[in-house]
Amino acid sequence: MIDDTIAAIATPLGEGGLAVVRLSGGQAFAIADKCFQPAGRSSLKPSVAPTHTVQFGRIVREGQLIDEVLLTVLRAPRTFTREDTVEISCHGGLLPAKLVLDALLAGGARLAEPGEFSRRAFLNGRIDLAQAEAVADLIHARTELALAAANEQLAGKLSQRINRLRDDLMLTMTHVEAHLDFPEEDIAPNTKDQLLKRLDNGVQFMDELLRTANEGQILRRGIRAAIIGRPNAGKSSLLNQLLGHDRAIVSPIAGTTRDTIEETANIRGLPVIFIDTAGLREAQDEIEVEGIRRSRESLVKAEFILQVLDASEPWTPADENYFTEFAGKKRILVRNKTDLPTRLELSATTVKVVDVCCLSGRGIEALKDAIKELAWSGEIKAEMLQVAISSRHQDALNRARAATRQAAEALRGGLTLELIAFDLRIAANAVGEIVGKTTTEDLLDSIFSTFCIGK
């Protein structure tokens, strides 16, 4: 299938000023020639146009005009896929882009699968696997920090470190296997010390990368924060304040929220998924029963909790139930309605307490600071963003670390070199998975199937 010429709409479907249809492969220019008519004296057919030029003309199919377009000619290897590529900018809207795509497919192109352009870029050596994943992270970034982390990975900052680690493991394995060829010669003590030092340094380096896993996953998928509390404590009002717009219905009637509401907000650069839950009281009807069930499911998945309290009322048994039932979760106590006379005292608790007034917005910025500190301890440094690993990278590094430690212990214990070489090969292959130097079709299918069509 790598020899096919593929096409897809590369911009989101829907109405807009422009849409882009992408065509890549060995027959890209021949297919484009069939449906592109140059307009004006200087415009050329794609097959004869110089690389990295834009041609003005019309897309036609069976003599019928589809749209006036700008067609960009990109000749291999100076393209994203390292294949001949054509990008057609047509008018936005579902129908123009679809008809342009249909014309290319009628001309001999095949509809691209999800992520197939990026997959070809990887297979053709344009980018490695970690950089390919960064393309998806770039598209899905919801904050500037997430965008910066994706750009660092796309630039190859993580790949450089991973490749150095793999090279060190391969070098150590080469030394061990060289001694396997001459079994009568033992490894000299000073050589053995050097090999052990290299392995110990590798484990230490993997530990440093693994410490970024939590932050990396927060930037990529966000962190989930459930908003809980008694009915009418101000949960929906708090959600609206954190989002900066009215998302949840606010009413003095208790039990207004019947279902969970999820929205993502940028909190000091971190994507936080806030979940407004139905008040966990004794349900009044079947709809509220279902809302409470969904709320409890969301609470299980949440990384931390914002427990909203009514500052104008004293601590109640219901507040105590919330406090004890979810004691195992990280939390912030949010004392709302501080514009009213305060009757709620929380001096004895060791849990972080933030006073807010959801009516006026007072205290919301302090709450955002507290949320950031709870989600990401310490300063967010640029070097962290360069190597913030994903869950897939974390799994590969954990396997590599275990095999490297086992190889080091075997070397110290004087075990057979075959076992040491076997462990080192496992470690090197696991590290190679991150950048795609050792991979399988199943792994590639799993990664690129998550991409959108046209990327």
Three-state SS annotation for 30-59? HHHHHHEEECCCCCCCCCCCCCCEEEEEEE
Residue with tokens 């590529």: 85
Per-residue confidence in pLDDT tens, the chain, 455 aa:
678 999 999 998 888 899 999 999 999 999 999 999 999 889 999 999 999 999 999 999 998 999 999 999 999 999 999 999 999 999 998 899 999 999 999 999 999 999 999 999 999 999 999 999 999 899 888 888 888 888 999 999 999 999 999 999 999 998 888 877 766 566 777 778 888 999 999 999 999 999 888 888 888 888 889 998 888 888 888 988 888 877 654 445 444 444 578 888 889 888 999 988 765 555 455 655 666 666 677 777 788 899 999 999 998 888 888 888 878 888 999 999 999 988 888 877 788 999 999 989 999 999 999 999 888 876 666 666 777 888 999 999 999 999 999 999 998 888 888 899 999 999 999 999 999 998 888 888 888 888 888 88
Q: Tell me what pLDDT residue 88 has.
A: 97
Domains and CATH numbers, the chain: 6-112 (3.30.1360.120), 131-212+387-448 (1.20.120.430), 220-375 (3.40.50.300)
Amino acid identity of residue 292, one-letter, is I
DSSP string, 257-279: --S-EEEEEEETTEEEEEEEPPP
DSSP string, 186-234: PPPHHHHHHHHHHHHHHHHHHHHHHTTHHHHHHHHH-EEEEEEESTTSS
- In what side-by-side order are the strands of the sheet with 64-74? 36-38, 53-61, 64-74, 85-91, 18-24, 6-9, 110-111
Q: Tell me what pLDDT residue 440 has.
A: 83
- The residues, any chain, with a CB within 8 Å of residue 239's CB and separated by 6 or more, are 227, 247, 248, 261, 263, 274, 276
DSSP-assigned beta bridge partners for residue 227 = 276, 306
pTM over 0.85: no
Three-state SS annotation for 325-374? HCCCCEEEEEEECCCCCCCCCCCCCCCCEEECECCCCECHHHHHHHHHHH
Q: What percent of the chain has pLDDT over 90?
A: 49
The DSSP code for 61 is: E
- The residues, any chain, with a CB within 8 Å of residue 232's CB and separated by 6 or more, are 252, 253, 254, 279, 310
